[in-house]
């Protein structure tokens, strides 16, 4: 709660509005200077109302800056860490002020765009309006292959499973995601790691031999559990995604499964879902390839830039948008 406080320094009176908040068990304060003039009660109340949103924004920014200091990163600057934590705390505040039905509607709209992008990235030719009709109205557009229709329909179950899953990231979880992604598309390989050699089209990266796929996934999961809580959640998810796609553990569906794992990891940490924008497909794929060669900066820059833009879209016409000004 914001309260008025008078400070006297060398005989002069100074007016402040102050709000306290807790972070990691410690109390911190934010203050707004109002001047030296003696204030009436009505003037104080008007000042509280005038600066109400300012205190809300500053509290978010302070919490984000404190939280950012808890992480060290080889690829994220201190500014980027603070931006990410600002996204996390703003999203938390945003959701807290909405009714569950409103959250469900907003997330549904986001999911439709996400399904369009994640399938289009792999070559699906359905338009955004067609994806909407398939998912919202269960209509089948003309001129599209059954495979394309199934790729989109399957995401009803994929998203339901991923969002409702209560366990931690595991091999069983990854295989189940693949099973749902490939349902009615490839009955022989769904839910199983590949047993043949494959190539990543348009990439110089050579996936690990099939005989080592499961072993490499086990190593990757071990790395994840070791570094969870030590590395910033978005950096952890980004590096996991790059390494997962380099292993290319499935005959088909690697990108769609990998992007689902990425969103599972970040939403578990309180971040909003991320849409791998198909309009930036080349930037995304180039970033993946650079990451697989050891340079994670391009893919992280791609994610950071689009994450902030997507957050602003979520906050359209919401006062919390000013946090990012």
Give the residue extent of every domain in the chain. Answer: 3-62, 99-318
Q: Extract the runs of DSSP E, i.e. beta strands, from the chain.
A: 3-9, 12-23, 26-35
The single residue listed with the structure tokens 């765009």 is 113
CA dihedral 41, 44, 45, 50 (to 10 degrees): 160
Q: Is the pTM of this model over 0.85?
A: yes
Question: What's the pLDDT at 9?
Answer: 87
Q: Is 66 exposed, middle or buried (0-12, 13-18, 19+ CB in 10 A)?
A: middle
Section 138-147 average pLDDT: 92
Q: Is 232 exposed, middle or buried (0-12, 13-18, 19+ CB in 10 A)?
A: buried
CA atoms of 219 and 224, how far apart (whole Å): 9
Residues constituting the chain: 325
CA atoms of 170 and 94, how far apart (whole Å): 30
Long-range contacts for 230-235 (Cβ within 8 Å, ≥24 apart)?
Answer: 231/71, 231/73, 232/71, 232/73, 232/76, 232/81, 232/84, 233/265, 233/266, 233/268, 233/269, 233/271, 234/76, 234/84, 234/266, 234/269, 234/271, 234/303, 234/307, 235/71, 235/73, 235/75, 235/76, 235/300
Question: What's the pLDDT at 184?
Answer: 94
Q: How confident is the model at residue 206 (pLDDT cuts 50, 70, 90)?
A: confident
Q: What is the pLDDT of residues 163-201, one digit of tens each?
A: 999 999 999 999 999 999 999 999 889 999 999 999 877
Backbone angles phi, psi at 202, to 5 degrees: 80, 10
Q: What is the pLDDT of residues 42-92, one digit of tens each?
A: 999 999 999 999 999 999 999 999 999 999 888 999 999 999 999 999 999
Res 130 pLDDT > 90? yes
CA atoms of 313 and 167, how far apart (whole Å): 30
Q: Is 77 exposed, middle or buried (0-12, 13-18, 19+ CB in 10 A)?
A: exposed
Q: How confident is the model at residue 134 (pLDDT cuts 50, 70, 90)?
A: very high
Question: What's the pLDDT at 10?
Answer: 84
Domain 99-318 architecture:
Orthogonal Bundle (1.10)
């Amino acid at each position: 709660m914001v309260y008025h406080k008078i400070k006297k320094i060398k005989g002069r009176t100074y007016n402040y509005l102050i709000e306290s908040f807790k972070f990691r068990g410690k109390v911190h304060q934010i203050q707004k200077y109002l001047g030296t003039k003696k204030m009436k009660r009505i003037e104080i109340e008007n000042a509280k109302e005038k600066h109400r949103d300012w205190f809300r924004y500053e509290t978010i920014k302070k919490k984000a800056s404190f939280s950012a200091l808890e992480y060290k990163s080889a690829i994220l600057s201190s500014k980027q860490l603070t931006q990410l934590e600002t996204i996390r705390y703003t999203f938390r505040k945003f959701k807290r002020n909405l009714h569950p039905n409103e959250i469900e509607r907003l997330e549904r709209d986001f999911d439709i765009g996400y399904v369009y992008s994640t399938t289009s990235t792999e070559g699906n030719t359905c338009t955004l309006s067609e994806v909407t009709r398939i998912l919202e109205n269960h209509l089948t557009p003309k001129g599209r292959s059954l495979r394309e229709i199934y790729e989109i329909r399957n995401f009803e179950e994929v998203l339901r499973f991923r969002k409702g899953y209560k366990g931690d990231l595991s091999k069983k979880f990854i295989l189940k995601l693949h099973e749902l992604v490939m349902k009615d598309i490839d009955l022989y390989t769904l839910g199983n790691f590949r047993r043949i050699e494959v190539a990543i089209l348009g990439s110089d990266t050579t996936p690990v031999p099939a005989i080592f796929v499961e072993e490499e996934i086990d190593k990757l999961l071990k790395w994840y559990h070791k570094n969870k809580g030590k590395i910033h959640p978005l950096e952890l998810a980004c590096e996991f995604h790059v390494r997962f796609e380099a292993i290319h553990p499935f005959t088909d569906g690697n990108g769609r499964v990998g992007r689902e794992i990425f969103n599972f990891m970040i939403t578990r940490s309180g971040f909003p879902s991320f849409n791998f924008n198909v309009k930036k497909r080349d930037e995304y794929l180039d970033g993946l390839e650079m990451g697989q060669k050891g340079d994670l900066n391009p893919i992280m820059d791609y994610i950071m830039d689009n994450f902030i833009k997507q957050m602003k879209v979520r906050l359209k016409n919401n006062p919390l948008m000013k946090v990012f000004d």
